[in-house]
Structure 1
Amino acid sequence: MSNKKIGLLSLTALVLSSMIGSGIFSLPQNMAAVAGAEAISIGWLITGIGIIFLGLSFFFISRLRPELDGGIYTYAREGFGDLMGFMSAWGYWLCATIGIVGYLTVAFEGLGVFTDSENTVIFGQGNTVASFIGSSIIVWLVHALIAGGIKEAASVNLVATFVKVAPLVLFILLGFWFFDTDIFNSDVKASALNNNIGDQVKDTMLITLWVFTGVEGASVLSAHAKKRTDVGLATVLGILIALALYVAITILALGILPRETIAEMPNPSMGPLLDAMMGPTGKVIITACLIVSVLASYISWTMYSAEIPYRGAQKGAFPKILDKLNENSTPINSLWFTGFIVQFCLILVFVFEQSYNTLLLISTSMILIPYFLIGAYLFKLAIQTNSAWYIKLTGFMASIYGLWIVYAAGLQYLLLSVVLYVPGILLFLYSHRKFHGKFKLKGFEQTILAMIFILFCYAVYRLPELLAA
């Protein structure tokens, strides 16, 4: 039996590992393709301030309400009722579960660098028979690892996190050494993009947000922490480390090669950038560490994906069958549920690659509402408890940032996410009635349901147009 708890170092590694997946290795190209150095710097400033306020929201909530476990779901439910709690949980779970399939495809696409040639394709873009078999094996190996105990899985993740951060530090050190101010200053405004600075900043916002997805990891696993006070601290530490890495990598890259050159690079773009500084071994190093990175992120995100339905099932938001722990205190049925969904998505990748990519894009936008609700709950809680002014300010600023990223995502993604929320709401209504014996939704929750179904009908009507956009 495994009843061990997770310490501060492992909690911080979980937060860092879930944020640093595959995205950071492609970050230089992703940012250079949409903005110049000036807009990128402004984008990081806005995101840095917003994400720090979001991280501080987890920090303060963990101290004002230390008895709350489950993070994203529990905070939304406590603040805004069963329906909003479920929507936060469903959006987060769907984003996490579908998103982690991408980690497996990226890992095996990375393996293809070492095995594939023009005449022999073994792993391809992560969608071949070999990739499907290999990914499926990893799904159930990780399942067995987590089933053996959350603490043990977190320890494996801790080692992998050190491995994935090492090449990033190497890149930054070399970047300082090879940085050329003339190259950096040659295209600060990215005039070739024909976009003003404001539009460029907006185009960077979703990129900068996605690489911070996972900031909530410590709060999701708060029930497994040695000390509840470690939850908020691990969140803030993870954010500060990740922010420093992200900003350094994207800004230094613009002083190594011209922006337009970086914008045309294949991903992971850190590979050819490292090649430019240290020779042809750069791509090999980056690819190897990319594989370790995404597999470590897969472990941490699988733990989160299993925890959320388990917490929801305890309150009637998910079916009761998911409310079960094994002898190692792992939410085993929820883990099985997550594993089967991931396996199903792997089949989609293998058979209908384009359909999966579209679904992934839509599901990722579903994280926006859960993040907004975190800041909004802290703001409400701070007013109710008459907390210090800086706690109220933190909740307010995190809420404003949440609204900003919803705006930056645009109406298209908001409407598409509604399409995926409605099946979840039907599951919630079934589970809610079974749990309570009747519907116990409040008046404002019924109003929200009506608005969602109206938006759903409108989104379905415009679906071909939205998918083509």
Structure 2
Amino acid sequence: MTATETQAASQKLSLPTLTAMVVGSMVGAGVFSLPRNFAQATGVFGALIAWAVAGVGMLMLAFVFQALAVRKPDLNAGVYAYAKAGFGEFPGFLSAFGYWASACVGNVSYWVLIKSTLGAAIPGFGEGDTILAVVISAVGVWAFHFMIVRGVREAAAINRIVTVAKLVPIVLFIVIVAIALKSGTFSANFWGTSGGLFDQVKATMLVTVFVFLGVEGASVYSRYARRREDVGRATVLGFVSVLALFAAVSIFSYGVLPQGELAQIRQPSMAGVMESVVGHWGSVFISAGLIVSVLGAYLAWTLMAAEVLFVAARDDDMPRFLRRENRHGAPVAALVMTGILITAVLAVTLWSDDAFTFTLKLCSSLSLVPYLLAAGYALKLRGTARQVAVSALAVVYTAFLIFAAGLEFLLLSCIIYAPGTILFVMTRRERGRRAFTLPELLLFVLVAAGAVIGVIGLAAGWITI
């Protein structure tokens, strides 16, 4: 073996390191909100079923992305490339745009959660949805923007700090709450207090999608693996570890407070549950870990959101102006568009009854079209019996998620998708082509009709945010 080959081999990642990377990519801000979000929907039994459904469904999606990365290595432009390859240019565009918009709305949820956390000490921030909270958040959005366009990237030091900030408070919370669990309270919360079991489970689905967003990222580590078979093992080990963390946070919380009280705790609800067990220091500890974690995650997801637009533009699937980079190599036009959408959605939260839950569910809903189309493309490719079964389960799961999201969030998604189609028309004109083919026009009319109905619904009050 040559010196170069020896060095390359030494830089390959072991199974434990790969597994840790998978865990780090999935553990984000959503876990800190789980006790309240689950208590608003269901009891212990429904939560167990919800995590089982989400666990199987999301693992199938992870396998789909992993298989596609191996079977179609030439499609390296992101999740939307699978939609384009399988269903055409306009569905591919909608997938890219939806994935980008989902990342932007997810970033809004980070700011809402930070201000809600600080709102416990600064009443003017409320639950992250006051004018003061929105203004300060908007300042933060553009402060991050100017840091990134100057060439600031997610350094290894930031990654290490963020990973510790994520995992230490979560693990400590699980240990303390498990020890403090009261069997009587847990039993009283077992069956839930509202609706049938199916409705309870359905109400949790967008929450579980939100906390697992980024599951497709596991497949990008394939080329770093010391052994190719370690990729699949790391995917399973990392995913099961994260699933265990998420389920433990939500399930053990039912043993500390009655479901009604859990459902009313301000976000981040993990801090409130911790405070009820150990006192005020517990809330401060969880809140501090959350803020560091969320700010690190915000940096990563802002870069990722801009990268989606930049790569799509480079591949002639978005207008040319989105290819623009500054002298630091930052995709400045894509970053500006990302900042504008984040700021706009922040402003919308002023009219929301529960800003964090609204942004969480909208973020999850926008991600469903890219996920469904990717799973559908994998099913079209067929392959072995196992690959067909995995793809079919992923399609069924993502289709169920769209059903679980309900008409309200489907229409709200259309309100974002419809005006975004302007970018598609610009791209076609730059290439001297017709704006739409007939099938694409029919699909656009359907999306536009959904947007119009959504706007009417908001104005009439039968759609609320």
TM bucket, shorter chain: 0.7 to 0.9
Give 5+ residue unaligned stretches, structure 2. 1-10
Name the structure 1 match of 2:190: 188
Q: 2:395 aligns with which of 374, 395, 399?
A: 399
Name the structure 2 match of 1:162: 164
How far apart, CA to CA, are the structure 2 residues paired with 1:231 and 1:310?
Answer: 28
Is 1:142–1:299's contact at 8 Å kept on the other side of the alignment?
no
Q: 2:442 aligns with which of 439, 444, 447?
A: 447
| Deviation by residue 1:264-313 (Cα, 9 ceiling, x = unmatched) | 32322222322233333111111111211211221121021111111221
Is 1:376–1:395's contact at 8 Å kept on the other side of the alignment?
yes
| Deviation by residue 1:34-56 (Cα, 9 ceiling, x = unmatched) | 21111111111111110111111
Distance 1:101 1:461, change over 3 A: closer
How far apart, CA to CA, are the structure 1 residues paired with 2:221 and 2:138?
Answer: 29
How far apart, CA to CA, are the structure 1 residues paired with 2:221 and 2:188?
Answer: 51
Name the structure 1 match of 2:45: 38
1:433 to 2:440 alignment: no
Where do residues 264-413 of structure 1 align in structure 2 (5 Å cutoff)?
264-326=264-326, 330-346=330-346, 352-354=350-352, 357=355, 360=359, 362=362, 364-381=364-381, 383=382, 387-413=383-409
The alpha-carbon deviation at position 78 of structure 1 amounts to 1.7
Distance 1:133 1:252, change over 3 A: closer
Residue identity (%): 34
Is 1:13–1:157's contact at 8 Å kept on the other side of the alignment?
no
The alpha-carbon deviation at position 21 of structure 1 amounts to 3.4
How far apart, CA to CA, are the structure 1 residues paired with 2:354 and 2:415?
Answer: 15
Is 1:107–1:291's contact at 8 Å kept on the other side of the alignment?
yes
SS in 1 for 2:268: coil
Name the structure 2 match of 1:22: 29
How far apart, CA to CA, are the structure 2 residues paired with 1:427 and 1:6?
Answer: 40
The alpha-carbon deviation at position 395 of structure 1 amounts to 1.0
The alpha-carbon deviation at position 407 of structure 1 amounts to 0.6
Where do residues 55-66 of structure 1 align in structure 2 (5 Å cutoff)?
55-66=62-73
The alpha-carbon deviation at position 226 of structure 1 amounts to 5.3
Is 1:313–1:320's contact at 8 Å kept on the other side of the alignment?
yes
Is 2:64–2:378's contact at 8 Å kept on the other side of the alignment?
yes
The alpha-carbon deviation at position 203 of structure 1 amounts to 1.4
Is 2:189–2:254's contact at 8 Å kept on the other side of the alignment?
no
The alpha-carbon deviation at position 261 of structure 1 amounts to 3.1
1:240 to 2:240 alignment: yes
Is 2:149–2:331's contact at 8 Å kept on the other side of the alignment?
no
Q: 2:463 aligns with which of 456, 461, 467?
A: 467
Aligned residues: 448
1:206 to 2:206 alignment: yes
Distance 1:218 1:153, change over 3 A: farther
How far apart, CA to CA, are the structure 1 residues paired with 2:363 and 2:35?
Answer: 24
The alpha-carbon deviation at position 135 of structure 1 amounts to 5.2
How far apart, CA to CA, are the structure 2 residues paired with 1:440 and 1:148?
Answer: 36
| Deviation by residue 1:128-153 (Cα, 9 ceiling, x = unmatched) | 55873465246434652475265x44
How far apart, CA to CA, are the structure 2 residues paired with 1:452 and 1:312?
Answer: 21
How far apart, CA to CA, are the structure 2 residues paired with 1:280 and 1:94?
Answer: 37
SS in 1 for 2:174: helix
Q: 1:95 aligns with which of 97, 102, 112?
A: 102
Distance 1:259 1:159, change over 3 A: same
How far apart, CA to CA, are the structure 2 residues paired with 1:419 and 1:147?
Answer: 33
Distance 1:175 1:7, change over 3 A: same
How far apart, CA to CA, are the structure 2 residues paired with 1:355 and 1:277?
Answer: 28
Distance 1:186 1:101, change over 3 A: closer
Distance 1:462 1:164, change over 3 A: closer
Which residue type is aligned with residue 421 of structure 1? Y
Give the TM-score of the pair, scaled to structure 1. Answer: 0.83
SS in 2 for 1:148: coil
SS in 1 for 2:88: helix
The alpha-carbon deviation at position 451 of structure 1 amounts to 3.0
| Deviation by residue 1:199-238 (Cα, 9 ceiling, x = unmatched) | 111112222222222323456xx59975797987776555
Is 1:6–1:154's contact at 8 Å kept on the other side of the alignment?
no
> Which segment is superposed worse, 57-66 or 67-76?
67-76
Distance 1:356 1:327, change over 3 A: farther
| Deviation by residue 1:355-409 (Cα, 9 ceiling, x = unmatched) | 994984545522221111121121122x2xxx22211211111111010000111
Which residue type is aligned with residue 216 of structure 1? E
| Deviation by residue 1:404-433 (Cα, 9 ceiling, x = unmatched) | 000111122212222221101122112222
Which residue type is aligned with residue 179 of structure 1? L
> Which segment is superposed worse, 249-258 or 18-27?
18-27
Name the structure 2 match of 1:132: 135
Which residue type is aligned with residue 176 of structure 1? A
RMSD: 3.4
How far apart, CA to CA, are the structure 2 residues paired with 1:356 and 1:320?
Answer: 38
Give the TM-score of the pair, scaled to structure 2. Answer: 0.84
Distance 1:342 1:417, change over 3 A: closer
Is 1:62–1:231's contact at 8 Å kept on the other side of the alignment?
no
The alpha-carbon deviation at position 249 of structure 1 amounts to 0.9
> Which segment is superposed worse, 320-329 or 80-89?
320-329
How far apart, CA to CA, are the structure 1 residues paired with 2:64 and 2:280?
Answer: 44
How far apart, CA to CA, are the structure 1 residues paired with 2:358 and 2:319?
Answer: 24
Name the structure 2 match of 1:111: 118
How far apart, CA to CA, are the structure 1 residues paired with 2:222 and 2:59?
Answer: 24
How far apart, CA to CA, are the structure 2 residues paired with 1:159 and 1:411?
Answer: 40
1:144 to 2:157 alignment: no
Which residue type is aligned with residue 448 of structure 1? L
Which residue type is aligned with residue 380 of structure 1? K
Is 1:57–1:395's contact at 8 Å kept on the other side of the alignment?
yes
Name the structure 1 match of 2:57: 50
1:81 to 2:88 alignment: yes
Name the structure 1 match of 2:215: 215
How far apart, CA to CA, are the structure 1 residues paired with 2:394 and 2:120?
Answer: 41
